[in-house]
Amino acid sequence: MTSSVDLTRADKGILIVLSGPSGVGKGTVCKALRECSPDLVYSVSATTRNPREGELDGVNYFFKTKDQFQQLIEQDQMLEWAEYVGNYYGTPRKFVEDTLNSGKDIILEIEVQGALKVKQKFPHGVFIFLLPPSLTELENRIVGRGTDSEETIRSRMSVAVDEIAMMEQYDYAIVNDQVDLACTRIRSILTAEHCRKDRMVNKIQHWMAEVKK
């Protein structure tokens, strides 16, 4: 089911989808964005993976069992969902659409599989791929978290290579070499997207109609 939200209209919010390989720093960049752009709404995803140290239910993720997650899928309460390294991730549909219809911008931090599903339903969203400075640095970041086994790390790196090959399906690509610079680049993209002529067409047509009266 496609979205009923027309993202080309100036009075609607912009959907930003930020994704990239595991360990690239998506969560860190989103946290920094929320601090420097408080009006940007952050969509909380649901997942079946275990919480990492310091993560809170309803803040970082909605942590669900696999049975609970499956029930949400069957009830069509997920905008998208994907399986990644043995766990499920998904985005609640209603919250996203209500936010966009209210005129607020919303950012989704999701895995690549989920992002491509969202693109099918929101083709006018803004899709940004976050890259590491190098694959070596990406592996160092994953190892540095200290939360994954060697087998899981190998699996994540293998998946990362496949995901980077999908970058061509995104609108923008940003290297996360410094978090503050990555945030500045994303904010610049958002500013530019708000100025696209396509988003102003409906408003201009309304002006022209008023002049002709």
Can you name the residues that pair with 16 across neighbouring β-strands? 107, 126
Compute the residue count for the chain: 213
Q: Which domains occur in the chain, in start order?
A: 15-212 (3.40.50.300)
Residue 12 identity: K
Residues 14-69: tens digit of each pLDDT:
999 999 988 898 989 999 998 999 999 999 889 999 999 999 998 888 899 999 99
Which of 106, 98, 95, 22 has the alpha carbon at shortest distance from 58? Answer: 95
User: Could you give the CA distance from residue 117 to residue 19 in angstroms, rounded to a whole number?
Assistant: 12
Averaged confidence pLDDT in the chain: 88
Residues 82-93: tens digit of each pLDDT:
888 889 988 988
pTM: 0.78
